[in-house]
Structure 1
Amino acid sequence: MNEVTHQATCVAIDGRAILIEGEPGMGKTSLALALIDRGAALVGDDGVLLEQRGGRLWALPHPNTCGLIEVRNVGIAAMPCGEAPVALLIMLDHAAPRHVEGPTVTQRAGIALPSLTLWPDSPVLAIRAEMALSIHGLPSHG
């Protein structure tokens, strides 16, 4: 499969990518910045390329914005970026359920991904995202 452009922000933690989706202004980049501050690596901000490789979905930086992240009220910042297999999809939404049994399964570019909806205004959103990856994310290999 060829690469497809996908509207999302993406970071990688220990070689596993979190695809962050949500409406404009929901805090996708803010979550990415908080995760980067905690050791994550940027894949792409406000748009990535998705590609199937060996039955896994990979997120790659979009060539038009590779290494760039837009920091609201600050401007465009440059930072290293890379690619990684997507292990988890996080949707930011104020209607996120308080209790969940586990992740739902969401298709992106023909690949099933575990998916969770998180409330975007949490002061510990980055910690929740890391825990979600740890508990529900796809393994590094397989």
Structure 2
Amino acid sequence: MSANRAILIRGASGTGKSRLALDLILAGRTGAIAQTLLIGDDRVRLDTRDGRLIAHAVPELEGMIEIRGLGIRRCDFTAEAEVALVVDLAASDAARLPPPERLKTLISGVELPRIPVAAGDNPLPLVLGFLITN
């Protein structure tokens, strides 16, 4: 994503939201994608501004991410960014060749590109594929 653009990762507990966030941060550090910072792990606050969806860090969780096996750790973060992509983990409508309507979602009146990821699939290649081809 370009500067100040966010990926909103959704899914039930245990579906790999924190893992995907960490994988994207690491990909940004290696140069595979642009530098990537955390906005929030576990929860963020969403609001609309000028027809855009904005994700904000929740103050009590700023800069903290859960890394399975290490616990809660601190990392670089940004306070807010415009949501430019939604990733739904363990999505019941994930398909090998999804119809175009499944690749969009509407949140608070804002239409956004969406990646539905099947349970058990690794979401990182899908997100990186989206970022380098879109």
**Normalising TM by the smaller chain, what interval?**
0.7 to 0.9
Deviation at 1:110, TM superposition (A): 3.0
Q: Is the 8 A contact 1:52 1:58 kept in 2?
A: yes
Secondary structure of the 1:59 match is strand
Greater strand proportion: 1
Secondary structure of the 1:32 match is helix
TM-score (norm 2): 0.80
Q: For 2:23 and 2:119, how far apart are their aligned partners in 1? A: 12
Percent of pairs with identical residues: 37
Tell me what 1:128 maps to: 126
Alignment of 1:50-129 (within 5 A): 50-82=46-78, 83-93=80-90, 95=92, 96-102=94-100, 103-123=102-122, 125-129=123-127
Structure 2 gaps of 5+ residues are 29-35
| 1:31-54 CA distance string (max 9 Å, x none) | 111100011211110100112111
Q: Is the 8 A contact 2:115 2:126 kept in 1?
A: no
Q: For 2:2 and 2:25, how far apart are their aligned partners in 1? A: 12
- Structure 1 moving runs of 4+ over 3 Å: 101-104, 120-123, 133-136
Secondary structure of the 2:10 match is strand
The verdict on how the C-alpha distance between 1:94 and 1:57 changes in structure 2, with shifts beyond 3 A counting, is closer
TM-score (norm 1): 0.76
- Paired residues in the alignment total 123
Deviation at 1:97, TM superposition (A): 1.2
Q: Is the 8 A contact 1:22 1:91 kept in 2?
A: yes
